[in-house]
């Protein structure tokens, strides 16, 4: 039944709160009279929840208060009632140890807020990396019609004068500083300007990738993802979102389940590959698919990647910032270029199909959005490898790596955790050469909350000799803004007994991207002996959310969601709950 609608009280969810002529109906209406809404309003107008992840400790989301006001205006213009609900805000750069584990907490926050309040539809306001998937996962589970609206990319004010910006600029600056080519004063000047304004990272990092993917999934309005945060056009879009949300609330659909089917996920993965998007999005899409009961695995990503060229010439895999991509037509233009690879009949919350949106789009600068037969780089944007070192899979963003390393055999240099990496990577005595394979473990979802440490730093000694890339392997993630030949999300992770735990310094590791293989070249009998000698790890967290996380988080190849949140929710609020409460009153 679309959107948890209830025929006994007039059809909509909100009718169950407001349209009943009984004591609970009286209490609900009289409570909201204090917020300025009349009995007539509440009984006759659809209700839109605006789920807002604004916080001033999260500058990526700093404009969301302003956008919420515009959404509110749009809802009212279209005859609806807007209510804003503040949710946990996850700042990627500020939260310790990493924002990633709190994605699932935000998703639960969103799901329960939607389910507990009388929303007929919701607008999801996110920006910084984890706020976007957290909101989507929660709303998908709640099953109420929804539209996603991002904060939009920041406008960098870098000191470089070129298109070096936001986090990709930071990584490049750090590399230059470590190799002695940038002064401390230059680095400090860069510090002040690299984010520039409110809004999320401005290259095709995780936030821009996820926002763009929302358009391809069909859960965001066409053209909404890449308009800069400070651009007046974003406010116009926010009002459009409000109006559309009121319409969805009035008609009770389409629901997330109507939009998020297997075709939508195929389209999203195709777009992700075409823009050279963040590997984090792989994890988020796997988790989202799990929420709506769509069978999705890493092999599907690899299959779609094989047929999808990199056509968006944006950083970190290309040259430009997302602002140029928007000027070239944004996601609708990308969809147009990708038409032969898409499910054109897939639905969207806007009302048109993906094919109709693509048909109406125009492609601007042909250097920024390339045709399928003239990609930015040859080969796939991402690759899934499996083998004795990653039985359940690992991923590589090949469009940001070095082809010369895609077939490589080298001795392992192992770091037990992030601290030992930080302590020893620049040790002059470290036994490492440019042929070494850097291995970081115990940073998977259970072992270390999966921080973005997958782009292990190149040892300073090698940096100074001009080495800029090496094969790096970990059970961590990597920032969508980063680059390098990094094998990420190794599953199962070391902390749950994956073979990554068995690697020793000097063991030979072989990466073969073309063959989709990642192997530890150690005799299986020797690995069995090492495994038998491994002591089970002690639980690091014994109380609170972190304990819940460690007990229930799934591995990266399943999206790192909680095992108890998988599967489509069909729960509805029983009326009996109200009856019991009123009896006590």
Residues of the shown chain interacting with ligand FES in the complex, contacts defined by CB under 6 A: 60, 92-93, 128-129, 167, 200-201, 205, 207
Cβ proximity to ligand FES, 129 vs 215, nearer residue:
129
The helix/strand count (H/E) of the chain reads as 23, 12
Pairing of strands 81-86, 121-126: unpaired
73 vs 48, 146, 451, CA distance in Å?
12, 17, 39
Cβ proximity to ligand FES, 60 vs 503, nearer residue:
60
Pairing of strands 471-474, 486-491: parallel
Cβ proximity to ligand FES, 205 vs 387, nearer residue:
205
Q: How far is the CB of 168 from ligand FES (least distance, A)?
A: 10
Q: How far is the CB of 95 from ligand FES (least distance, A)?
A: 10
Scan for tokens 């988080």, then name that residue: 553
Cite the beta strand spans of 244-402 per DSSP E.
383-387, 390-396
DSSP state of 82: E
Alpha-carbon distance of 361 to 334, in angstroms, equals 9
Closest CA to 334 of 306, 301, 365, 379: 365
Helices (H), 344-385: 354-360
Alpha-carbon distance of 107 to 455, in angstroms, equals 27
Cite the beta strand spans of 262-406 per DSSP E.
383-387, 390-396
Cβ proximity to ligand FES, 92 vs 380, nearer residue:
92
Cα 61 → chain centroid: 15
Please count the CA atoms within 13 angstroms of the CA of 319 that sit on its side-chain side.
8
Q: How far is the CB of 46 from ligand FES (least distance, A)?
A: 32
Q: How far is the CB of 350 from ligand FES (least distance, A)?
A: 24
Q: How far is the CB of 90 from ligand FES (least distance, A)?
A: 9
Cβ proximity to ligand FES, 61 vs 255, nearer residue:
61
Cβ–Cβ under 8 Å, residues 269 and 277: no
Cβ proximity to ligand FES, 57 vs 582, nearer residue:
57
Alpha-carbon distance of 498 to 477, in angstroms, equals 16
Cβ proximity to ligand FES, 198 vs 335, nearer residue:
198
Alpha-carbon distance of 420 to 351, in angstroms, equals 52
Cβ proximity to ligand FES, 474 vs 481, nearer residue:
481
Q: How far is the CB of 463 from ligand FES (least distance, A)?
A: 25
Cβ–Cβ under 8 Å, residues 170 and 203: no
Phi, psi at 83, each rounded to 5°: -130, 135
Q: How far is the CB of 150 from ligand FES (least distance, A)?
A: 10
Cβ proximity to ligand FES, 55 vs 436, nearer residue:
55
Cβ proximity to ligand FES, 92 vs 519, nearer residue:
92
Closest CA to 261 of 289, 282, 284: 289
Q: How far is the CB of 167 from ligand FES (least distance, A)?
A: 6
Q: How far is the CB of 89 from ligand FES (least distance, A)?
A: 11
Alpha-carbon distance of 85 to 468, in angstroms, equals 46
Q: How far is the CB of 66 from ligand FES (least distance, A)?
A: 17
Beta bridge partners of 153: 200
Phi, psi at 293, each rounded to 5°: 75, 25
Cβ proximity to ligand FES, 115 vs 200, nearer residue:
200
Cβ proximity to ligand FES, 131 vs 308, nearer residue:
131
Cβ–Cβ under 8 Å, residues 297 and 557: yes
Closest CA to 449 of 541, 564, 538: 541
Structure-block tokens of residue 23:
């004591």
Alpha-carbon distance of 146 to 121, in angstroms, equals 6
Q: How far is the CB of 239 from ligand FES (least distance, A)?
A: 24
Q: How far is the CB of 266 from ligand FES (least distance, A)?
A: 26
Cβ proximity to ligand FES, 168 vs 308, nearer residue:
168
Q: How far is the CB of 102 from ligand FES (least distance, A)?
A: 13
Q: How far is the CB of 452 from ligand FES (least distance, A)?
A: 10
Cβ proximity to ligand FES, 151 vs 267, nearer residue:
151
Q: Which long-range contacts (CB under 8 A, 24 or more apart) does 319-324 make?
A: 319/163, 320/163, 320/368, 321/153, 321/156, 321/163, 321/165, 321/202, 321/203, 322/153, 322/202, 322/203, 322/204, 322/208, 322/226, 323/153, 323/155, 323/202, 323/226, 323/228, 324/365, 324/368
Structure-block tokens of residue 538:
């002690």
């Amino acid at each position: 039944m679309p959107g948890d609608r209830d025929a006994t009280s007039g059809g909509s969810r909100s009718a169950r709160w407001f349209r009943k002529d009984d004591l609970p109906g009286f209490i609900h209406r009289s409570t909201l009279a204090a917020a300025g809404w009349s009995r007539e309003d509440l009984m006759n107008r659809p209700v839109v929840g605006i789920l807002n992840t604004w916080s001033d400790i999260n500058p990526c989301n700093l404009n969301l208060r302003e956008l919420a006001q515009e959404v509110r205006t749009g809802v009212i213009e279209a005859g609806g009632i807007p209510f804003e609900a503040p949710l946990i805000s996850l700042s990627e750069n500020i939260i310790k140890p990493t924002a990633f584990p709190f994605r699932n907490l935000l998703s639960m926050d969103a799901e329960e807020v939607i389910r507990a309040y009388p929303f007929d539809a919701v607008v999801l306001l996110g920006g910084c990396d984890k706020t976007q998937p957290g909101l989507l996962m929660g709303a998908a589970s709640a099953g109420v019609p929804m539209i996603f609206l991002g904060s939009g990319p920041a406008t960098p004010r870098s000191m470089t004068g070129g298109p070096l910006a936001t986090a990709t600029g930071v990584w490049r600056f750090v590399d230059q500083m470590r190799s002695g080519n940038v002064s401390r004063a230059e680095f400090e000047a860069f510090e002040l300007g690299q984010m520039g304004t409110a809004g999320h990272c401005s290259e095709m990092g995780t936030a821009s990738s996820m926002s763009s993917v929302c358009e391809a999934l069909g859960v965001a309005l066409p053209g909404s993802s890449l308009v800069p945060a400070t651009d007046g056009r974003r406010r116009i879009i926010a009002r459009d979102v409000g109006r559309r949300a009121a319409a969805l609330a009035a008609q009770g659909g389409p629901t997330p389940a109507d939009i998020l089917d297997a075709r939508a996920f195929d389209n999203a993965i195709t777009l992700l590959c075409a823009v050279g998007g963040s590997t984090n999005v792989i994890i988020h899409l796997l988790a989202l698919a799990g929420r709506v009961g769509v069978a999705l695995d890493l092999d599907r990503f690899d299959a779609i990647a094989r047929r999808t060229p990199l056509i968006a010439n944006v950083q970190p895999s290309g040259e430009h910032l997302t602002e140029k991509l928007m000027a070239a037509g944004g996601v609708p233009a990308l969809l147009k270029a990708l038409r032969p690879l898409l499910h054109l009949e897939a639905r969207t919350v806007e009302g048109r199909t993906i094919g109709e949106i693509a048909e109406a789009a125009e492609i601007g600068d042909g250097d920024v959005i390339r045709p399928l037969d003239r990609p930015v780089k040859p080969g796939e944007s991402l690759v899934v490898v499996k083998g004795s070192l990653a039985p359940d899979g690992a991923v590589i963003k090949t469009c940001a790596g070095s082809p010369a390393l895609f077939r490589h055999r080298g001795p392992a240099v192992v770091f037990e955790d992030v601290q030992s990496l930080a302590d020893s990577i620049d040790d002059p005595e470290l036994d490492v050469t440019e042929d070494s394979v850097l291995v970081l473990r115990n940073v998977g979802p259970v072992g270390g909350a999966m921080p973005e440490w997958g782009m292990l730093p190149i040892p300073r000694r090698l940096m100074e000799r001009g080495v800029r890339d090496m094969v790096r392997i970990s059970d961590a993630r990597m920032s969508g803004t980063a680059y390098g030949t990094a094998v990420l999300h190794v599953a199962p992770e070391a902390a749950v007994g994956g073979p990554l735990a068995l690697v020793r310094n000097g063991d030979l590791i072989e990466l073969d991207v073309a063959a989709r293989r990642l192997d530890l070249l150690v005799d299986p009998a020797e690995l069995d002996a090492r495994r038998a000698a491994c002591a089970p790890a002690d639980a690091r967290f014994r109380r609170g959310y972190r304990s819940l996380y460690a007990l229930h988080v799934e591995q990266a190849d399943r999206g790192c969601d909680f095992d108890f949140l998988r599967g489509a929710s069909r729960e509805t609020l029983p009326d009996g709950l109200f009856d019991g409460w009123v009896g006590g009153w």
